[in-house]
């Protein structure tokens, strides 16, 4: 019995195939290549996931941008509609103004004296005095132009300027007295 047990042990060791050095080197090479391939695969998977995440983020940004662009387009279309409505109103108003101007152009022009009407005799006197002062200012201006243009001699210029200046002074004094009297009466 004791030898048979040993025999079984020898046989079982003999039954186990032995790996040759060449086979062991081949297995180590396969293990190294497998490890290298696994590392490359892991790196590729990581890079692909990063690229995919980046693509997803860009896609989300593009979608947000598209939404903003759509909102801007809608706002611009609304603005365009508003502007078109304003243009239609302006066209209608322009037609109305043109019609009124055409009707007015057929009417005779009113006399300037009829356009400005004083509310009372004192206001009428004030209006006349102011108009007289403005007329004198116009004449004095043209006298200056005539003098500097050589159309008038100095003696004539001084004589007319003295007379008109005196008239202007009295007209302005009249304006001041009328305004003072109107203030006393409480009339503006």
Provide, rounded to the nearest whole percent, the portion of the chain with pLDDT above 70: 89
Q: Which pLDDT value is given to residue 7?
A: 54
pTM beyond 0.85, yes or no: no
Q: How far is CA 160 from the centre of its chain?
A: 59
Mean pLDDT of 24-44: 92
Mean pLDDT of 87-109: 88
């Amino acid at each position: 019995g004791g030898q048979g047990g040993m025999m079984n042990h020898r046989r079982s060791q003999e039954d186990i195939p032995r790996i040759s050095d060449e086979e062991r080197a081949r297995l180590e090479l396969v293990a190294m290549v497998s490890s290298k391939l696994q590392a490359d695969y892991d790196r590729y998977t990581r890079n692909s996931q990063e690229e995919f995440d980046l693509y997803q983020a860009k896609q989300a940004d593009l979608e947000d941008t598209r939404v903003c662009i759509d909102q801007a387009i809608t706002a611009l279309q609304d603005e365009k509609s508003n502007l078109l409505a304003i243009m239609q109103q302006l066209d209608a108003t322009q037609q109305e103004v043109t019609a009124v101007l055409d009707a007015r152009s057929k009417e005779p022009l009113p006399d300037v004296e009829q356009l400005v009407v004083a509310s009372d005799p004192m206001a009428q006197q004030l209006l006349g005095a102011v108009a007289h002062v403005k007329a004198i200012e116009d004449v004095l201006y043209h006298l200056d132009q005539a003098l500097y243009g050589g159309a008038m001699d100095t003696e004539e210029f001084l004589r007319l300027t003295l007379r008109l200046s005196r008239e202007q002074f009295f007209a302005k004094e009249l304006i001041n007295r009328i305004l003072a009297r109107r203030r006393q009466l409480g009339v503006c």
